[in-house]
Amino acid sequence: MWSTLGHNMESPNHTDVDPSVFFLLGIPGLEQFHLWLSLLVCGLGTATIVGNITILVVVATEPVLHKPVYLFLCMLSTTDLAASLSTVPKLLAILWCGAGYISASACLAQMFFIHAFCMMESTVLLAMAFDRYVAICHPLHYATVLTDTMIALIGVAAVMRGSLLMLPCPFLIGCLNFCQSHVILHTYCEHMAVVKLACGDTRPNRVYGLTAALLVIGVDLFCIGLSSAFIAQAVLCLLSREARSKALGTCGSHVCVILISYTPALFSFFTHRFGHHVPVHIHILLANVYLLFPPALNPVVYEIQTKEIRKRVVRVFQSGQGTGIKASE
C-alpha cells in the first residue's frame, strides 16, 4: 500500500520533487515565530518526559501505590509519553531548521500512532472515571471489581480499541490519488490535513474519521459525564462534611485532567470540521495544544493534587539529594 501511495502522489511540477514524499509546512503565517515556538515545544516535551517518568518510577518503586487508581495513572503516563515522542522530534526539526520532508510511509505511520495513542488516552481516562465511580458509589465492591486481572484487561482493551479504530485510516488514504499538492499545512501528519490534499472522492475517509472520533470522544465523554453525575449524587448524600470533602478531593485531580485533555480536543475537532472561516494557523495551534499540553500538565496535576504521590515524589528527590551529598563527602 505504501508504494501505491507513493506512486499516486505527484508534485506540482512532476519533476523536481520525489512523489513519494510529503512536506510538513509547519504553521503557515507564523514562520517568524517558529524559533520562539520551538522553545515552548522543547520545554513542554522536557516536562512531559520528566513528569511522566517520575510518575512511573514513583509508582513502580512504592508498593503502597500499587492500587488501581495509580496503575491507571501509569497507563495514562505511558500513552502520554508515546504520543509526545511520536510528535515532538519531528515538530522540533520543522521549527528549528524547516526539515519538513517526510516519506509517505513515515507520514502514515506517524498518523496512525498519534491518533491511536490519543484514543488509548481517552479510554484510560474513561477507566479512571470508572475507578472513581466504584470507589465512591460502591466502596464495598471496589476490591472485587477492580482486580489485577480486570486492570490488565482494561489496559489491553485500551490498546486494542485505539489500534483497531485507527487501523483503517492509513489503508483508506492509501487508496487515494494525490495529483495536486504534497504540501501538508500542518506540523504533523494529521488525518484530515492529509485527506484534504487528495483528488477525487474522499467521503469514505471523512465519514470514517468523523465516526471514529465520535465513537471515542462522544462515547467516552458521555460515560464520564454519567459517572460524574452518579458520583455527585452519592457525595451529596453523605452526612459528614469531612466525608464529602474527602470524596470530592479524590476526584479533583481526575476532573482537572479531563478538562485539560478534552477541552483542546473538542476545540480542535469542531474548528477543523465546522470552523471553515477560522485561520489555518489557529487550526494548527489548537491541534498542537491538544497534543503537547495535556501530557506535560497531567503529571503536575496529579503530583500537586494527590497527597500520596506528592509525598513519594518529595521523598525520592530528598533521598537523591542525600545520596549526592554523601557521594561528594
pLDDT in tens, the chain (329 residues): 444 444 444 433 333 455 578 999 888 888 888 889 999 999 999 999 999 999 998 889 888 888 998 999 999 999 999 999 999 999 999 999 888 899 989 999 999 999 999 999 999 999 999 998 998 888 899 999 999 999 999 999 999 999 999 999 988 998 888 877 889 989 999 888 888 888 888 888 889 988 888 889 889 999 998 988 888 888 777 767 776 776 666 677 777 888 888 888 777 777 766 766 778 888 888 889 889 999 998 888 887 777 778 777 777 667 655 555 454 55
What nine digits make up the cell of 69?
487508581
Give residue 324's pLDDT.
Answer: 52
Cβ pair 285, 34 in contact under 8 A: no
**Cα of 282 vs its chain's centroid, Å:** 19
| 147: three-class secondary structure by DSSP | coil
Q: What is the phi-psi region of residue 26: left when phi exceeds 0, alpha when psi lies from -120 to 50, beta otherwise?
A: left
CA distances from 250 to 68, 121, 254 (A): 13, 20, 8
Confirm if 293 and 260 have CB atoms less than 8 A apart: yes
Quote the CATH superfamily of domain 21-307: Rhodopsin 7-helix transmembrane proteins (1.20.1070.10)
Residue 311: what pLDDT? 79
The rounded Cα 222 to chain-centroid distance in angstroms is 19
Backbone angles phi, psi at 279, to 5 degrees: -55, 150
The 10 Å CB-count burial string (b at 16+, else e) for 106-138 is ebbbbbbbbbbbbbbbbbbbbbbbbbbbbbbbe
Q: Where are the domains of the chain?
A: 21-307
C-alpha cell at position 94: 520543522
Sheet-wide strand order for 21-24: 101-103, 21-24, 183-184
Query: Residue 127: its pLDDT value, please?
Result: 94
Rounded Cα distance between 294 and 37, Å, is 17
- Do residues 48 and 80 lie in contact, with contact meaning Cβ atoms separated by under 8 Å? yes
**What's the confidence (pLDDT) of residue 246?**
67
Q: Is the dihedral of CA 253, 74, 119, 146 positive or negative?
A: negative
CB 22 within 8 A of CB 184: yes
- Would you put residue 203 in left (φ > 0), alpha (ψ -120 to 50) or beta? alpha
* Residue 103: strand, helix, or coil: strand
Is this structure's pTM higher than 0.75?
yes
